[in-house]
Amino acid sequence: MSTLPGAIVNQDEQYLADNARRRKQFSIWFYFLCVAIALISVVILVVLMISIWSQGQSRLTTDLLTRSHSELEIERSGMWPAIMGSLFVCGTCALVALPLGVGTAVFLEEFKPTHKVLRWIHGFVQLNIANLAGVPSIVYGLLGLTVFVYMFNVFGQIRVNESAGLEIMGYKHFYQVLTLEPGHVVFAPQTDPTVRQTTFDEPFQAVDPDGNPIEISIWTPGTPKPTDPEIRRRTVRSGAIGGTITERNWYYFRLPFDKSFLSGGLTLALVILPIIIIAAQESLRGVPSSLREASMGLGATTWQTVRDVSLPAALPGIMTGSILAMGRAIGEAAPILVVMGAAVAKSSGPQHLMDDAVTMPVLIFNWAGRQQDEFKELSAAAIIVLLVVLLLLNSTAIYIRQKVQKAQS
Amino acid sequence: MSLPKALQNREFRSTHAGAFSERLIVISLALCALATVLITVGIIYMLITESTGFFRSEAVTMSGFLTDTEWTALQSKELEQAKFGILPLLSGTFRVTLIAMLIALPLGLVTAIYLSEFASARIRSWLKPTLEIIAGVPTVVLGYFAILVISPSLQMISDGAFSTFNATSAGIAVGILCLPMVCSLSEDAMRAVPRSLREGAYGLGCTPFETSVKVVVPAALSGIISAFLLAFSRAVGETMVVALAAGTLPTMTLDPTQQAQTMTGFIVEMIKSESEYGTVQYYSLYAVAVTLFLITFLMTLCGQIIRRRFQESYQ
Amino acid sequence: GSKSDAPTTTESAAESGSTAAVSNLTGTIKINGSSTVQPIANAVKEEFAKLYPNVNVSVDGKGTGNGFKMFQDKETDISDASRPIKPGEFEACKANGVEFIEIPVAYDGLTIVVHPKNDWVKSMTIEQLQKIFVAGDAAKQWSDVDASWPAEKIEIFSPGTGSGTYDYFREVVIGKSDSSLRNDMNLNEDDNVLVNGVAGNPYAIGFFGVAYYEESKDKLKAVEIVNPKDDKAYLPTPENIASGTYAPFSRPLFIYVSTASLPRAEIATFVSYFLENAPSLCERVGYVRLPDEIMQRAAKNLDEENTGTHYIDGEGNSRSGAVADIYQPENLTK
Amino acid sequence: MSSVTPAIASAENSEALPDQTLIHIEKLNAWYGDFQAIHDLSLEIPKHKVTAFIGPSGCGKSTLLKWINRMNDVVPGARAKGRLTIDDDHDGKRTEIDVLDPNLDVVGLRRKVGIVFQKPNPFPKSIYDNVAFGPRLHMKTTKAELDELVEWSLQKAAVWDEVKDRLHGPALGLSGGQQQRLCIARAIAVGPEVLLMDEPCSALDPSSTLAIEDLIFELRSQYTIVIVTHNMQQASRCSDKTAFFFEGKLIEAGDTELVFTKPKNKQTDDYVRGKFG
Amino acid sequence: MSSVTPAIASAENSEALPDQTLIHIEKLNAWYGDFQAIHDLSLEIPKHKVTAFIGPSGCGKSTLLKWINRMNDVVPGARAKGRLTIDDDHDGKRTEIDVLDPNLDVVGLRRKVGIVFQKPNPFPKSIYDNVAFGPRLHMKTTKAELDELVEWSLQKAAVWDEVKDRLHGPALGLSGGQQQRLCIARAIAVGPEVLLMDEPCSALDPSSTLAIEDLIFELRSQYTIVIVTHNMQQASRCSDKTAFFFEGKLIEAGDTELVFTKPKNKQTDDYVRGKFG
Ligand SMILES: Nc1ncnc2c1ncn2[C@@H]1O[C@H](COP(=O)(O)OP(=O)(O)OP(=O)(O)O)[C@@H](O)[C@H]1O
Ligand SMILES: Nc1ncnc2c1ncn2[C@@H]1O[C@H](COP(=O)(O)OP(=O)(O)OP(=O)(O)O)[C@@H](O)[C@H]1O
Ligand SMILES: [Mg+2]
Ligand SMILES: [Mg+2]
Ligand SMILES: O=P([O-])([O-])[O-]
């Protein structure tokens, strides 16, 4: 048995040497192939950046950052409402997705059940999250449309002159009536919310835009019309009809949400929720179990362990994951198009919870598709702004991660 | 040394006082987890209820839906002329996805090998962020990159053989989009391969190439395959790039120079056109969404199964 | 008190020039419908917002047909249209209790465009268009239309089926017959996509409102259309459109205003502002102004709140013809 | 004490008082899922003594240790059957804590039975916060009391002098041996009666090991200490009693000296002579 | 042999032939980045003997081992200075391989110097493919030759009987001890002359340990074996020569019996008696 097998005894030294050289050569070639291919991604990024920069750099003006979309003065169009819109939409998204995602991750990672049935459920939820992570964002858009925008039509549809859904708070209804002074209106408090219009034949008590009460007199056609603008402002024509308008506080809330930024933000929260959960789970998993054991060994309950030990230790990882997820949310356009529509002509950010909004990707989508060269350049400039925002987010994430890596090494 | 006062008192907090709030917290955390289940339930409920509007219609048969080679939901105003065969949309989706995968998989995998096996810490420290930046580029931007840069370049190279909107430029852009994902997931899988295996290989006289290709990659295969599957379902579900660059005409061909409306592209067009809400044509978008959902669901399921079956090797 | 809004119209018309001050008018106005009219509506909205910054006007352009759908469901105050309302839509409005005032705002020339490299097509007749666009034995290649043209595949870009432009084109090309437009066209509600599509393929053809052509003249070539009346070919220039020689694709654009919304001060103010400024603003975005006479009739209709359409007769059949002939008080059907 | 139990009993009565048993283990069986890690184990652990658990890897030492303060609760699939009780002097009244009782107040148990692990595992917080972690959970203390308690614990753990100038510096900045002593300080800060130590020195360098061994020697006057070790020399150096485990069974237990010099069992003899393990 | 080198020399000439040195190490210094892991180390390792490296954790045993077949090449920042040569009999001609030569054919070196690690690390392939892995890389073999080679290696590694019925089953399905023997089979399948073993038994149970120790005993007639171990008993049981390291320095080296019974150095004495480590 101890005789060496033929293969070892009959080794051809020349072959061995050649073979070794050939393999080493091959390995070197492979190394250069790797370098070349790894560089491709860098090249792609550079080409992307250069083509965008060369298109958009001339439009990086303060107008871009402070003004709104304009059809008549294209060259002075800006993206302020879109910046605000993205801020509000993504803010909503973060406010909802972060606690929900981290909560879920904590539950799944730290409260692992020991009972068999519960373990099965646990595995199911885990699988479910993996599946949610793979669901295309456009499907979330459709879900957002049925759930947030229409709410299965449970609260009826939003209709002009008829229904504003189920209004819950933050609103006051008035009749808005034109006075004799052109462009000037007065507001009559609306007592019966179901009446959408009323006719004014007699003098009535109204309020001016600042909320101060004023007496309104009636001018009957045929009698001389007052000429003093002051008086004209306090006078309406007999038979004038007031239509309902609503004064909305920022916390105006009604159901369904319709195409509001809230719907958009909630839908985006659905999109990034699985991403956040998975990232948070991963970083909780990275917390050494010895820390948990130490805390439990001191008599801390599971929740106390989570609160005082696991979560703080996992926080950098959770933050990194969340920031990257937020980057995804900021750039996401498809679900927003489905939920909030593609209109971009908005002159300000959202004024109340139910207000609609434009987001940066949708604005870019619109501008880049337009024919005028100005819009093409503007869209490139807007892309630069968006990329800068993303770059800031990403570098924060990378910074946090590297700091943590350093601290741990 | 005498016992400190705190220990002399032995006034320990009642241990049952926290139990209630503890339970409350656990319940609210459980509710968070429940929410994720509710989302799935919501998706399935929505897809089923809304697509019944399509499948119930007399103009539609299940076999026709699965085998017809024309899809003209957007093109036909009258229901009688509309044809609902999902195959052209599927073919569009798979053309784009195939091209994307042809780009993302080899490039991503080789870059991952480079990052995990060869790159020095310094190169990693800027190459990885670069990839992350690409991963973070909004898809709208990539879509315009496709029609403003990729498509004209293709047309120039091929002397006009490509149409303005075509499967290839969309596929390339989607590939760029998936590349970082393939790369970072495969890299994670390869880094999870214990050092001891690499040492084993080097100890037997392997070159770096042999170590990475013959030992590390096979050992990380489950992770790499699930990365591929994830990238695949991301590509299948990608919307903005194809809506912008792949064209709006469903075609049933293998020609990559032609346009290719994908499933997601159709959904977006239908939503944007709001083509007659409530018509069969409109509801057909939910039928497409069901198909899309099923495909991605199967992908993730496969990925999970592969991960669970083959991953345990190193514990 | 049904006649309510008259004061604003007359008074502001007389005195608005002097009010430079920012108004305290507030409210929300929802507009949807034609993407052809959308540039005009957006332009008006923008100017209006300078005077009335607290009025929130949302303008969307999902196509005339979709616009009317939302209008009859009371989701919008104003519906933009690049064709007159159709009998079916009119009935639906009536059934839902939606009454409206029909206001023409500008002329458009539905422009047929090809790639600038296309040197074989200079002008086209309706028959040639039929060969290309009508389903059935539609021409697959240019050479199927005219043997001297290249044997290359025709790629077609058309507005979506929900759009008025599609309807108008279909009606002109097919008439009242049963056939329909072919269904292997690239359809898109967004006219900009159509422009990009045609501009990217030398063998493409497409059509849309003249404003989108005006914006991208350098990338596209407009096809001269042979007027069936005099057999001469005309380009969609403002003169040809206004004079009606660019026939049969010269068409009016409309807005439809819900009377239920008119008592709201913001709507009344906006609509009268629209009417007043449409002629000048429509030219700025590439359309052609309507004759003063028609604008005055429209103002009168608004003033007197004459609801109904001029394009459908008592029996419920649609009328067709020049706007100057049809937009007459006696044609108004409630 | 049942006669089948190979109890730890002073064979040579070297001390004046007889041992008082604190932890009683009777016929304990423990499983991880389907795998039985402990078989029918009976053992008595004396009060205010150091008891060493020795045995080859995987023989169930850590498992037993972790059942004493129910750390295995969080391991999925871990269960135990048998009796495991700890005597509890409460204002002079003697009661018994039934450790395996599913309704037991685990939090209270773990406060009474502290544990120190193989690898030092300070929390990534300041040194002060590490020691104050337990007291903050369990007690209502004033700032001054807490300060006093932290100092006392660190002094008891023989690490005060080395850290007193950087109490609010990060605990992870300490050396391995200091970290381990910090962990001991953290464990005694909640006033436990029993200290369980699972190979507390195996990750440490020689000098840190010595410091910890000295510390264990110090602490035994006030605490009942159970220490798991792989190092026979360590067991013989610093324990009073030794229990030898093999494949989940208790093979032999008794005075350390006897176990090492005159083991009754062949396996014990082989093991302490280094024939395996 | 220079006089400053504490070389391994048979103090009592128990064997007929004098030791023939195979591996010469002279003034070796090794670094990881700025940290010096080995200081000025000189040592000679005899042919066809088992040499044990002992010493506390972190003393540089593994580092030295890994330099012998240049495994440290792949560790970023690792470098070494000094002389490290291996004698090479080539058709009767004696040459020397300069291990630290940067232009050395590492692939060939590693074929000559096999290594086995602490944790068994079979590739996630079949048993057969594991053993055939090395031969397939280096040699041109027929299927039959390869089969013969695989069987021979597995037999040599004393694991053939246990695996012969499932040669194409997954290697990861074997027990730890079998895996470790498989790794040894894999290492000898390429026909090395030297076998380096870094704590080959520390992850194994007692019976597997015994099997490996027997195997080492068997193999020494054909291979030069270097084994790193923490277990003094193991070193004394299965090695001919022992080298004791401390903090990167070689403290003492010589016949195993002498080192364990009459160490010349105080530190060695302390260590082999278990005072630390
Ligand atoms: N969480 C677990 N799940 C399943 N089996 C486990 C678990 N923990 C330990 N075991 C098994 O139980 C047995 C006893 O393990 P234990 O940790 O008590 O051994 P030990 O004597 O402490 O060994 P070591 O000295 O290596 O720490 C071992 O066979 C081990 O594989
Ligand atoms: N890759 C590395 N990078 C930096 N330092 C290292 C590296 N590997 C080992 N060291 C350091 O070099 C010194 C010697 O390590 P080595 O692994 O040779 O010790 P050892 O004697 O084998 O210890 P053990 O018995 O724990 O395996 C140690 O202080 C260790 O921390
Ligand atoms: Mg243990
Ligand atoms: Mg070592
Ligand atoms: O103007 P349209 O969008 O209806 O064609």
Q: What atom of ligand 1 comes closest to residue D248's alpha carbon?
A: 14
Per the prediction, chain C carries an average pLDDT of 87
Of A201, A228, A229, A197, give the one whose Cα is nearest residue A217: A201
Per the prediction, chain B carries an average pLDDT of 87
> Residue B271's pLDDT is what?
84
User: Which site among A16, A21, A24, A30 would you substitute to test the B interface, given the most B Cβ atoms closer than 10 Å to its Cβ?
Assistant: A30
Say if the Cβ atoms of D210 and E276 lie within 8 Å: yes
Q: What is the mean pLDDT of residues B265-288?
A: 82
Give yes or no: residues B31 and B118 share one domain.
no
Q: What is the mean pLDDT of residues C109-121?
A: 92
Alpha helices in A215-310 (DSSP H): 229-233, 261-285, 289-297, 302-305
DSSP bridge pairs for C251: C108
Judging by beta carbons within 10 Å of its beta carbon (0-12, 13-18, 19+), is residue A227 exposed, middle or buried?
Answer: exposed
Of D249, D223, D245, give the one whose Cα is nearest residue D235: D245
Q: How many Cβ atoms from other residues are within 10 Å of residue B79's Cβ?
A: 16
Residue with tokens 């008590």: A205
Structure tokens at A237: 């024509």
Taking contacts as CB-CB distances below 8 angstroms, the residues of chain B near D155 are 1
Give yes or no: residues B44 and B172 share one domain.
no
Inter-residue contact A360 to A386 (CB < 8 Å): yes
Please count the CA atoms within 13 angstroms of the CA of B138 that sit on its side-chain side: 30
Give yes or no: residues B52 and B191 share one domain.
no
Structure tokens at D2: 């049942």
Taking contacts as CB-CB distances below 8 angstroms, the residues of chain A near E145 are 5-7
Q: What atom of ligand 2 comes closest to residue E248's alpha carbon?
A: 14
Which structural domain, as residue segments, surrounds residue B37? 20-56
> Residue B277's pLDDT is what?
65
> Residue C16's pLDDT is what?
42
Q: How far apart are CA D198 and CA C130, in angstroms?
A: 90
CATH for A64-154+258-407 is 1.10.3720.10
Measure the CA dihedral B102/B107/B108/B110, to 10°: 130
How big is the A-C interface in CB pairs under 8 Å? 134
pLDDT above 80 (res E6): no
CA distances from A151 to A156, A161, A254, B193, E223 (A): 9, 21, 11, 48, 78
Say if the Cβ atoms of A130 and B303 lie within 8 Å: yes
Cis, peptide link before residue A312, omega less than 30° from 0: no
Would you place residue C12 in the very low, low, confident or very high pLDDT band (cuts 50, 70, 90)?
Answer: very low
Would you place residue C302 in the very low, low, confident or very high pLDDT band (cuts 50, 70, 90)?
Answer: very high
> Residue C99's pLDDT is what?
93
CATH for D45-73+105-273 is 3.40.50.300
Q: Touching check for C299 and chain B: CB below 8 Å?
A: no
DSSP bridge pairs for D29: D81
β-sheet with D21-32: strand ranges across = D35-46, D21-32, D78-90, D93-98
Residue owning the nearest CA to atom 1 of ligand 1: D75
Structure tokens at E158: 């004393």
Q: What atom of ligand 5 comes closest to residue C168's alpha carbon?
A: 5
- Give me ligand 2 centre to Cα E57, in Å: 8
Q: Which comes out higher in pLDDT, residue C255 or E214?
A: C255
pLDDT above 70 (res C190): yes
CA distances from B308 to B222, B301, B302 (A): 9, 10, 10
With a 6 A CB cut-off, is C36 part of the ligand 5 pocket?
yes
With a 6 A CB cut-off, is C158 part of the ligand 5 pocket?
no
Say if the Cβ atoms of B16 and D135 lie within 8 Å: no
- Distance, in angstroms, between B39 CA and closest chain C CA? 29
Q: If you write DSSP's letter for every residue of chain E in order, what string do you get? A: --TTS-----SS--SSSPP-EEEEEEEEEEEETTEEEEEEEEEEEETTSEEEEE-STTSSHHHHHHHHTTGGGGSTTEEEEEEEEEEEEETTEEEEEETT-TTS-HHHHHHHEEEE-SS----SSBHHHHHHHHHHHH----HHHHHHHHHHHHHHTT-HHHHGGGTTSBGGGS-HHHHHHHHHHHHHTT--SEEEEESTTTTS-HHHHHHHHHHHHHHTTTSEEEEE-S-HHHHHHH-SEEEEEETTEEEEEEEHHHHHHS-SSHHHHHHHTTS--
Give yes or no: residues B36 and B170 share one domain.
no
> Residue B311's pLDDT is what?
61
B8 falls within a domain: no
3-state secondary structure at position D36: strand
Q: How far apart are CA B273 and CA C64, in angstroms?
A: 11
| E contact chains, 3+ CB pairs < 8 A | A, B, D
Q: Tell me the domain boundaries of chain E.
A: 45-73+105-273
Inter-residue contact D69 to D46 (CB < 8 Å): no
Q: Which comes out higher in pLDDT, residue B5 or B227?
A: B227
Residue A243 Cα to chain centre, angstroms? 35
Give yes or no: residues B214 and B271 share one domain.
yes
Say if the Cβ atoms of B200 and E190 lie within 8 Å: no
Give yes or no: residues B28 and B85 share one domain.
no
Of A270, A401, A241, give the one whose Cα is nearest residue A328: A270
Would you place residue B2 in the very low, low, confident or very high pLDDT band (cuts 50, 70, 90)?
Answer: confident
Q: Which residues, 6 or more positions from A124, have their beta carbon under 8 angstroms from its beta carbon?
A: none
Inter-residue contact B103 to B176 (CB < 8 Å): yes
Sheet strands (E) in chain B: none
With a 6 A CB cut-off, is C34 part of the ligand 5 pocket?
yes
Inter-residue contact D68 to D30 (CB < 8 Å): no
10-residue mean pLDDT series, chain D (277 residues): 44 54 93 91 93 87 91 85 88 83 86 89 91 89 91 89 90 86 91 90 74 86 90 86 92 91 87 69
CA distances from A319 to A303, A316, B2, B232, D64 (A): 20, 5, 45, 27, 39
Give yes or no: residues B188 and B144 share one domain.
yes
Say if the Cβ atoms of A119 and D134 lie within 8 Å: no
Of A257, E259, A187, A101, give the one whose Cα is nearest residue C26: A187
Task: Tell me the CA end-to-end span of chain D in Å, nearest whole number.
Answer: 31
Query: How does DSSP classify residue D222?
Result: T
10-residue mean pLDDT series, chain A (409 residues): 68 82 90 92 90 91 91 88 94 95 94 85 92 93 93 87 87 88 85 85 86 88 86 88 88 91 96 95 90 89 91 89 90 93 86 92 89 88 92 84 67
Q: How far apart are CA A86 and CA A332, in angstroms?
A: 10
Of A140-154, B63-77, C92-106, least confident by mean pLDDT is B63-77
Inter-residue contact C35 to C191 (CB < 8 Å): yes
Residue of D nearest to E208 (CA): D276
If one counts the domains in chain B, the total is 2
B73 falls within a domain: no
- Give me ligand 4 centre to Cα A58, in Å: 62
Q: Touching check for C193 and chain B: CB below 8 Å?
A: yes
The type of residue at D2 is S
Inter-residue contact A104 to B33 (CB < 8 Å): yes
Q: Which of C5, C47, C216 sits opposite A371 (nearest CB)?
A: C216
Inter-residue contact C311 to C85 (CB < 8 Å): yes
Say if the Cβ atoms of D110 and A119 lie within 8 Å: no
Inter-residue contact D243 to D48 (CB < 8 Å): no
| Span C233-275, pLDDT tens digits | 999 999 999 888 898 899 999 999 999 999 899 999 999 999 9
Say if the Cβ atoms of B4 and D149 lie within 8 Å: yes
A–D contact: 3+ Cβ pairs < 8 A: yes
Per-residue b or e along B150-181, where b marks 16 or more CB atoms closer than 10 Å to that residue's CB? bbeebbeeeeeebbbbbbbbbbbbbbbbbbbb
Q: Touching check for D206 and chain E: CB below 8 Å?
A: yes
| Span C134-177, pLDDT tens digits | 887 788 899 988 889 999 889 899 998 888 899 889 888 888 77
Q: Touching check for A123 and chain D: CB below 8 Å?
A: no
Which helix or strand (DSSP H or E) is residue B21 part of? helix B17-55
pLDDT above 50 (res E16): no
3-state secondary structure at position D89: strand
E220 — phi, psi (to 5°)? -65, -15
Say if the Cβ atoms of D274 and E57 lie within 8 Å: no
> Residue E15's pLDDT is what?
46
Q: If you write DSSP's letter for every residue of E192-254 in order, what string do you get? A: -SEEEEESTTTTS-HHHHHHHHHHHHHHTTTSEEEEE-S-HHHHHHH-SEEEEEETTEEEEEE
Q: How far apart are CA D33 and CA C95, in angstroms?
A: 71
pLDDT above 60 (res C331): yes
Taking contacts as CB-CB distances below 8 angstroms, the residues of chain D near A290 are 117, 119, 121
Q: Sign of the C-alpha dihedral, residues E9, E13, E18, E20?
A: negative
Q: What is the mean pLDDT of residues E25-47?
A: 93
| A contact chains, 3+ CB pairs < 8 A | B, C, D, E
pLDDT above 50 (res C20): no
pTM of the model: 0.88
B250 falls within a domain: yes
| Span B143-187, pLDDT tens digits | 989 988 899 899 889 887 888 889 999 999 999 999 999 999 999
Q: Which residues, 6 or more positions from C103, have their beta carbon under 8 angstroms from its beta carbon?
A: C254, C255, C256, C257, C271, C274, C275, C298, C301, C302
- Give me ligand 4 centre to Cα E268, in Å: 18
Q: What atom of ligand 5 comes closest to residue C159's alpha carbon?
A: 5
Q: What is the mean pLDDT of residues B244-248?
A: 87
Query: How does DSSP classify residue C330?
Result: G
Which helix or strand (DSSP H or E) is residue A8 part of? helix A6-9
Give yes or no: residues B126 and B37 share one domain.
no
DSSP bridge pairs for E116: E197
